[in-house]
Chains A and B, each alone.
Chain A
Amino acid sequence: MTETNLTVAVIDPSRARAAILEEGLRAAGIGRVVVVPDTADLMERVAALAPDVVVIHLESPSRDILEQMSSVTRQAERPVAMFVDRSDAAMMQAAVDAGISAYVVDGLRPERIRSILDIAILRHNAFARLQRELSEARGELADRKLIERAKGILMNLKGLSEEEAYKQLRRKAMNEKRKIADIARAIVTTADLLG
């Protein structure tokens, strides 16, 4: 897709997510991609930029501003209309599920908008997946630290080797049908209280 003459505005309360979308749209050959900060003067900024398409995250409180710009076409510098009409319910559902909505200038060909929205949906879903993986990884790291501390406590207290300490933790977890990290947390908490 070569869309070098298009301007796309991206509005998103998350700067990281906005950056990922910006990068994706640039990589797809969009000529001008501008991230507009979600502040009180958003309308002036969007009007000055005169984008062909605005991609906005559903969490942005500024969505209602674009609704007004699209309903009062005679006042706006350029007419803005909401994309995804009722003939494309599946696209709209996919966009809202991914957390985005798009507003486009009247008269832009639907297939050009569709490809932009496709990129936005893919990027948003990828970002959500990354965030999920990151929070899982953080959880795992925290668990591993807890287990290390619990092993250390058992080794000191009972004169065990590291391997024996870990085996005891694992056996206890299996017997009680709990996670090793839960057993480790109990040991660390107890040691903190008694220490």
Chain B
Amino acid sequence: MRLHIGYVPLCDAAPLIAAHAFGFARAEGLDLDLAPEPSWATLRDRLALGHLDAAQMLAPLALASGLGLSGPPADLAVPLGLSLNGNAVTVTNALWAAMAPEGDDLDAVAAALGRVARERAGSGRPLTLGTVHPFSCHTYQLRLLACRGGFDMSLVRLVVVPPQHSVEALERGIVDGFCAGAPWNGVAVAAGLGRIAALGRDLAPDAPEKVLAVSRRRDGATLPLVRAVARAGLWCAEPGNRAELAHCLAGRRYLDLDAELVGRTLAGELTVGAAPRRVPDYIRFGAPAQAPGPDRLRWLLTQMRAAGQLPPGPDLEPAAAALYRPDILAEALPERTD
């Protein structure tokens, strides 16, 4: 059975790419046609309108799409989480120098950012920070960073920077900083264009980052697809497979980046601020990421509400809960223990 699958070229597309490249899909009788999508909006619309059967999706955007809050209302289900964490906030060298945080810890960095944000807002040149889409953990992580630094998001300009433009936007000073997923922060640091100021996992530990969203039009394909991608996700989580995975992801067909950089990113070897750090859970695949449970759903809805993204009116929680389908994962992989 041939399935059209959308993804955005990022490290956390790994379970989908591995499902195709390392035979997990074939073992289920599936032939995955993996299409890189140029933007989250286009991926969302193609899934909603039937060009795609399933897709890697920002966890908040999958909810927004299924609830009709973003783009054409989609008849979709979320049977599987793909990844946790993986984002970071990178700032220009100039902003990092202006911040001059008193310590390496998140509180010191957030406080320093807050001081500069207030100064710049006061002088009529507010800081410009980039996210990847309104409905993204990136947006919420920037809000959490502001909260930690004691400043209101209304003091900064929040804009969207497509990941493939993020490094250029930093270089040209179009943004003072951005929150993006792996590997773009590492790419900016490697190019000497900025510093990682904060990691997503420090702002919100184990935030549900990407999910597998499946179109309800292809119900018959859901179980084998979930089985294949879940097994591929478990494979991605094994440190012993990391080198092979990095080589595959970095290839021209997928990310088209330096394999060593992708490997270091997957291993969580980063330079945060001025100091090298090893963060094993910088990006997480496998069992802990996979069940789309009610606790994750509640966290997402809380963040969406705080960001003013939920319309007033009846509570959307029951409708959102109907989109999250851990029961499908349980049926696809009965051997799961958690």
Contacts and interface: CB of A to CB of B under 8 A. Distances in A.
Nearest to B309: A71
Interface string A88-104: 01001100110001000
B51 A67 contact: no
B45 A96 contact: yes
Interface string A32-44: 0000000111011
A63 B38 contact: yes
Interface stretch (B85-93, B162-170, B231-239, B245-253): B162-170
Given A67-B70, A86-B73, A96 B164 contact: no
B172 A67 contact: no
Interface residues of A, number: 28
A171 B303 CA distance: 72
A62 interface: yes
B43 to A, nearest CB: 10
Interface string B169-192: 100101000000000000000000
B143 interface: no
Contact of B41 (A43, A67, A72, A86): A67
B40 A64 contact: yes
B38 A61 contact: yes
A2 interface: no
A44 to B, nearest CB: 7
A58 interface: yes
A43 B164 CA distance: 15
A68 B159 contact: yes
Most buried by A among B39, B46, B70, B157: B39
B150 interface: no
A84 B41 CA distance: 14
Given A43-B160, A60-B38, A101-B41, 12 more contacts: A39-B165, A61-B38, A62-B162, A63-B41, A63-B42, A65-B159, A65-B162, A66-B41, A71-B134, A72-B158, A89-B72, A101-B45
Pairs of residues from A and B, 9 with the lowest C-beta to C-beta distance, nearest first: A68-B160, A61-B162, A63-B41, A63-B39, A71-B134, A40-B165, A40-B169, A40-B168, A58-B42
Interface of B: 38-42, 45-46, 49, 51, 68, 70-73, 131-134, 157-162, 164-165, 168-169, 172, 174, 309
Interface of A: 39-41, 43-44, 58-68, 71-72, 75, 82, 84, 86, 89, 92-93, 96-97, 101
30 contacts: A40-B169, A40-B172, A40-B174, A41-B172, A43-B160, A58-B42, A59-B42, A60-B38, A61-B38, A61-B39, A61-B165, A63-B42, A64-B41, A65-B162, A66-B41, A67-B40, A67-B41, A67-B70, A68-B133, A68-B134, A68-B160, A71-B134, A71-B309, A75-B157, A89-B72, A92-B49, A96-B45, A96-B51, A97-B49, A101-B45
